[in-house]
A = this chain, B = another copy of it.
Amino acid sequence: MDINKYKSHDRILVAVDCIIFGFDGQQLKALLIKRGFEPEIGKWSLMGGFVSQDESTDEAAARVLHQLTGMHNIYMEQLHCFSDVKRDAAGRVISVAYFALINIADYSEQLQLEHEARWFHLNKIPELIFDHKEMVTLAKERLRQKVTNHPIGFELLPEKFTLPSLQNLYEAIYEEPLDKRNFTRKILSLGILNKLDEKEKESSRKGAFYYIFDKNKYSKLHQEGVKFI
């Protein structure tokens, strides 16, 4: 590639930072790490990394996410590019923030220890370095907005989930209670969930039926989103 054409222009360090959302059945959480290098070593931070010449920011974000979680094929979406000249105290770094949705149960305790990572309830995020708090806030808003019209909530749940747990998830995202009957009716009326015969018996005597999200039924519905809640 002939880079000479542009050689008179400034080159800048580009990073990615990942807001990793997880749901434990009750609460919506974000995965943070204790930063392992200077500056700001030892402070809480989003997981991030620099973008190299030979990868896109999408690729860099997937790589960073894999480093922390060992996971591949995670739902991930670009959030925003943060570029204030002074956002990073140690030098000029532009950061492209991404948010990811993972099933918290799949996340390995082992990796958590290795990286000094911890899940934080979204209302109890500690002080974060640089502009990471702003990133988390924006990600939360975006998630809330997105989940209204797109079937991405399922990314936060196990493959088999119960209607009460799905409702808990939406309540956690919206931070407000929903009516059980209205919720059930609406979500089932979309015709995108398959009911199993099996029941989940951990969280109640009676037990709640498992459901599975049916991607095919969904994609037949609408190309451009459906009102979920």
Contact = CB atoms under 8 A, between A and B. Distances in A.
Given A14-B12, A81-B78, A90 B6 contact: yes
Interface residues of A, number: 37
Describe A's contact surface by its main secondary structure.
loop
Interface stretch (A27-35, A46-54, A107-115, A180-188): A46-54
Nearest to A58: B83
A55 interface: yes
A25 B74 CA distance: 45
Contacts of A90: 1-3, 5-6
A91 B56 contact: no
A95 to B, nearest CB: 10
A3 B50 CA distance: 14
Nearest to A37: B5
A91 B57 contact: no
A120 B17 CA distance: 37
Contacts of A10: 13, 50-53
Interface of A: 1-6, 9-14, 37-39, 50-58, 78, 80-81, 83-85, 89-94, 96
Given A2-B91, A6-B90, A11-B12, 18 more contacts: A1-B90, A2-B90, A5-B38, A5-B90, A6-B13, A10-B51, A10-B52, A10-B53, A11-B13, A12-B13, A14-B14, A51-B83, A53-B92, A55-B85, A57-B94, A58-B83, A78-B81, A81-B96
20 contacts: A1-B90, A3-B13, A3-B91, A5-B37, A5-B38, A5-B90, A6-B50, A6-B91, A9-B13, A11-B14, A12-B13, A12-B53, A14-B94, A56-B85, A57-B83, A57-B94, A58-B83, A78-B80, A78-B81, A81-B96
